[in-house]
Structures are given as structure tokens and as C-alpha cells.
Amino acid sequence: MKRRNFIQHLCPALTVAQLALLSSCQEEAETVVPATSEDEKEFKRVSALFNDEGFLIEGKSVFVNLAHKNFSKLADISGFSNVLEAGILLIKTDNTTIKAFDNCCPHQGARASWVVVNGRFKCENHGNSYNTSEVNLVTCSSNSISGGLVRFPVTLYKTYLKVLKS
Ligand code: FES
């Protein structure tokens, strides 16, 4: 049973607005993971291992030191950073949320030509733009000229961010 149907079945008195809010909170919970005590230990371990560029790649995990000058743009809403070597795009969407996406363009795979226009990532290689709301997801080099970029879950601890690439 789909989540929305389950919620409607369980709580018929919920209003449409409440359902929308609940659903959006649940969707956010799937991709913004709160730091556990194990995460805190891991962040403390890697804090001494960041490279000069302010990040660390360990397998499918990318750790980012948000206090590093290379990530200063993420202090502002709509500020973004393309961590080319790590294959991730980071964008600050509100005061408490930084989202991470695959930086491989769904059109022909360019990784270095991103700008943000009206809350969407635009690849300047051929001018196609992609949403950050996970609507109609399109994958790397799938020849797609629209749709949503693939998002990765993030964990935030103090000024450290962990991105788990799929
Ligand atoms: S490779 Fe990005 S728009 Fe063509």
C-alpha cells in the first residue's frame, strides 16, 4: 500500500494540508539523516583527515567540512558548491538544509558546467535545467533534457556534512 493511501486509511480525519505536510516531512526524513552517536564518532575520526580542499572521500561516503573556505557559498540560501572530484553538487535550500545531488548531467554527463537559476540546476554545456525536488528523476548521461537530479542522503553534525552516494 502506498504511503499516502496508508496514511489516509489510518487517519481519515487528517486534512489534505496535514497530509501534504506529513508527506513532505517523511520525504525529507528519507534524505536528511540525523547524526547518531556512531555518526558523531565517525565525524570526529575524519575531522583530522580532510584534504586541503576541505573534503574527504571514503568509499561511497563524502565528508565535507562546511567551515572550509571552499564551501563558504553554502552559508547563503541558494548558494551551491560543485565538488567535482567527489561527484556531488551541494546546495543550501533553507536555513537548516543542505541537499546533495549527483553532479553528472542527465543529458550527456557533463559535471563542471552547473549554475543555479531560479532554484534549479542548469548545465551550461547545452543549457538544460533540472529540478532539485526529486520530481521525474533522471540519471547520469541518460540523454534527458529535463527532470530531477538524483539526490543523495546527507547527515549533518556541527559543521561537518556526510553525503552517502548510491
Ligand atoms: S551535458 Fe548537460 S546539458 Fe548537455
Do 43 and 3 fall into the same domain? no
Tell me which of 20 and 68 has the higher pLDDT. 68
Per the CB < 8 A criterion, the answer to whether 31 and 45 are in contact is no
Residue 24 carries which side chain, given as an amino acid letter? Answer: S
Q: Is 103 in the pocket of ligand 1 (CB under 6 A)?
A: no
Quick one: pLDDT at residue 22?
39
Q: Whose CA is nearest to atom 3 of ligand 1?
A: 126
Per the CB < 8 A criterion, the answer to whether 161 and 64 are in contact is yes
- CATH number, domain with residue 82: 2.102.10.10
Q: Is 138 in the pocket of ligand 1 (CB under 6 A)?
A: no
| Nearest atom of ligand 1 to the alpha carbon of 109 | 1
* pLDDT single digits (tens) 106-144: 999 999 999 999 999 999 999 999 999 989 999 999 999
Do 98 and 153 fall into the same domain? yes
Do 80 and 9 fall into the same domain? no
Do 137 and 149 fall into the same domain? yes
Decide if pLDDT at 21 tops 50: no
Region 4-27 average pLDDT: 40
Domain that holds residue 14: 1-34
Do 54 and 74 fall into the same domain? yes
Q: What is the mean pLDDT of the chain?
A: 85
Do 5 and 87 fall into the same domain? no
Burial of 165 (0-12, 13-18, 19+ CB in 10 A): middle
What are the grid coordinates assigned to 73, written together? Answer: 557559498
Strand partners, 148: 131, 137
Quick one: pLDDT at residue 32?
67
* pLDDT single digits (tens) 22-65: 344 444 445 667 788 998 999 999 989 999 999 999 999 999 99
- The percent of residues in the chain predicted with pLDDT above 70, rounded, is 81
What are the grid coordinates assigned to 18, written together? Answer: 496535514
Quick one: pLDDT at residue 128?
98
Do 77 and 126 fall into the same domain? yes
Do 11 and 39 fall into the same domain? no
Do 61 and 15 fall into the same domain? no
- Ligand 1 centroid from CA 82, angstroms: 15
In this prediction the pTM is 0.80
Number of domains the chain contains: 2
Do 40 and 25 fall into the same domain? no
Do 27 and 72 fall into the same domain? no
Do 66 and 28 fall into the same domain? no
Quick one: pLDDT at residue 34?
79
